[in-house]
Amino acid sequence: AVVKIVTADGHGTGSFVSPDGVLLTNNHVLGYEDSNHCAREGCFIELLVDFQLGAASRSLRVFAKPKRLAVGLDASLFQIYTGADESPKLSTPHYLRLAPAELPE
């Protein structure tokens, strides 16, 4: 589920949160500013997958398109595609399963 994200501006980490390539990362990794192309329109990035297994990672060049951004929380969701034409979505057999949590009263 954990991947290393490499962009032209640097690198960071993220986690897949669905079987169809939804990636959760911090805003500062792919950025959310008026001048940031990736957060507005999407961009090509390199993912190092199988990063958490301790084995040799595979490198994938993929297209990341923003789905949801929460600037104040420094969190963002990106849909990952295998090409710029937004098809097909990247199949991700390893992903974190998120469950709603109840807040204490």
List the pLDDT tens digit at each of the 105 positions of the chain.
788 998 877 889 999 999 999 999 988 888 665 556 677 788 899 998 876 556 677 889 999 999 988 888 888 999 999 987 777 999 988 888 877 777 777
- Predicted local confidence at residue 77, as pLDDT: 92
- pTM for the model stands at 0.82
- Name all contacts of 93-102 with Cβ < 8 Å and 24+ positions apart: 93/19, 94/1, 94/16, 95/1, 95/15, 95/16, 95/17, 95/18, 95/19, 96/1, 96/15, 96/16, 96/17, 96/24, 97/17, 98/17
